[in-house]
């Protein structure tokens, strides 16, 4: 198995201040990169992953093989309940990496990337979710579409795209990634602007499908309740909408900021360079 190195890995692990025998929650297990480093430092790990297509159980056996790690398939919005049910309360540290791994994009077949034109417009991280990206494009009102694009991705001048979506679905329903790409390509011939709109549209759809902002809200509130006094919370976010929500929620909690300015990635692709790490401590 190829080991994936998460963005800002060492900075996040250092920020957790891992102590041997401590209880740490990796709320976004993914390929296990953060959990592996916590285990190396002697911590016990409760790992959470919501992706139902990632063969996590097999990967876990192959890559970690450590009895100090407990893996739960669930949504991190339930972190308080998960921690209490698995004897990880109070926790010494919690880590969130809010980015979607490139492996998930590559193997999912669920239309997360605009570079996969023939995939179905699904975008559900877990198939238990009821609404897909195509459902949103086919059924949301003009006002609802405007709300998700401006809220989830801070998209500006999106009106022409929304109008084209509504015109298109009257004739033919959205099914595949290419269906929305054709609209954007027709409206915006400039390559740079075209790429920005695609990135924003796909981000907004994915966040709405998976209710990401609501999940982050519940997760941070839950985390503040289960951290031990002096325990650390490390959060890696990838765009302004997430980062703004995180700052607002933590200001309203009993968490104090350790990183006065976010730690920013300076390497990797565009997505990785947008990463921001903020570290908090429970009073």
Dihedral sign from CA coordinates of 100, 101, 102, 105: negative
- Comparing 248 with 52, which gets the higher pLDDT? 248
**Residue of 4, 2, 1, 6 whose CA lies nearest to 265:** 6
Residue 274 has pLDDT above 70, yes or no: yes
Over residues 184-193, the mean pLDDT reads: 95
Output DSSP code: residue 8. Answer: T
Task: Report the pLDDT value the prediction gives residue 55, as an integer from 0 to 100.
Answer: 56
The beta-strand segments (E) located in the chain are: 23-26, 44-49, 69-73, 91-97, 227-237, 255-257, 263-264, 276-282
Residue 20 has pLDDT above 60, yes or no: yes
What does the mean pLDDT of the chain come to? 91
Instruction: Please give the Cα distance from 197 to 245 (Å, whole number).
Output: 22
Residue 57 has pLDDT above 70, yes or no: no
Task: Report the pLDDT value the prediction gives residue 199, as an integer from 0 to 100.
Answer: 93
Residue 113 has pLDDT above 60, yes or no: yes
Residue 2 has pLDDT above 50, yes or no: no
Task: Report the pLDDT value the prediction gives residue 4, as an integer from 0 to 100.
Answer: 59
State pTM to two decimals.
0.91
Pick the range with the lowest mean pLDDT from 87-96, 190-199, 269-278.
Answer: 269-278
- Give the domain ranges of the chain: 9-102+214-282, 130-209
Convert the pLDDT of each residue in 207-218 to its tens digit.
Answer: 999 999 999 999
Residue 179 pLDDT level (bands cut at 50, 70, 90)? very high
CATH fold of 9-102+214-282 = Rossmann fold (3.40.50)
Instruction: Please give the Cα distance from 263 to 261 (Å, whole number).
Output: 7
CB contact at 8 A, 215 and 192: no
Over residues 263-270, the mean pLDDT reads: 72
- Comparing 52 with 155, which gets the higher pLDDT? 155
Over residues 38-50, the mean pLDDT reads: 95
Residue 3 has pLDDT above 80, yes or no: no
- Comparing 42 with 157, which gets the higher pLDDT? 42
- Say what percent of the chain tops pLDDT 90: 77
Q: How far is CA 275 from the centre of its chain?
A: 11
Task: Report the pLDDT value the prediction gives residue 1, as an integer from 0 to 100.
Answer: 37
Convert the pLDDT of each residue in 118-155 to its tens digit.
Answer: 999 999 988 889 999 999 999 999 999 999 999 998 88
CB contact at 8 A, 129 and 209: yes
Instruction: Please give the Cα distance from 267 to 274 (Å, whole number).
Output: 10
- Comparing 256 with 56, which gets the higher pLDDT? 256
Over residues 94-98, the mean pLDDT reads: 96
Task: Report the pLDDT value the prediction gives residue 267, as an integer from 0 to 100.
Answer: 65
The burial of 229, by beta-carbon neighbours within 10 Å (0-12 exposed, 13-18 middle, 19 or more buried), is given as exposed
């Amino acid at each position: 198995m190829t080991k994936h190195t998460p963005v800002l890995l060492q900075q996040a692990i250092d920020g957790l201040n891992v102590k041997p025998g401590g209880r740490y929650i990796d709320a976004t297990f993914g390929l296990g990169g953060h959990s592996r480093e916590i285990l190396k430092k002697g911590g016990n790990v409760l790992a959470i992953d919501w992706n139902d297509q990632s063969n996590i159980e097999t990967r876990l056996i192959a890559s970690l093989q450590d009895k100090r790690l407990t893996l739960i398939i669930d949504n991190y919005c339930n972190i308080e309940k998960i921690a209490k049910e698995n004897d990880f309360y109070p926790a010494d540290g919690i880590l969130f990496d809010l980015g979607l791994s490139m492996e998930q994009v590559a193997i999912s077949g669920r239309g997360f990337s605009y570079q996969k034109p023939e995939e179905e417009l699904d975008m559900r991280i877990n198939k238990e979710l009821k609404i897909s990206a195509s459902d949103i494009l086919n059924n949301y009102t003009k006002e609802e579409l405007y709300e998700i694009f401006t809220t989830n991705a801070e998209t500006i001048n999106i009106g022409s795209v929304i109008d084209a979506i509504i015109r298109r679905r009257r004739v033919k329903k959205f099914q595949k990634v290419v269906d929305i790409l054709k609209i954007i390509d027709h409206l915006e011939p400039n390559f740079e602007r075209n790429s920005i709109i695609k990135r924003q549209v796909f981000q907004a759809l994915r966040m709405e499908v998976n209710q990401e902002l609501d999940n982050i809200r519940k997760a941070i509130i839950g985390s503040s309740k289960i951290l031990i006094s002096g325990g650390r919370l490390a959060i890696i976010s990838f765009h302004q909408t997430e980062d703004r929500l995180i700052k607002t929620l933590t200001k309203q909690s009993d968490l104090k900021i350790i990183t006065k300015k976010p730690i920013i990635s300076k390497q990797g692709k565009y997505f990785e360079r947008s990463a921001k790490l903020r570290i908090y401590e429970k009073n």
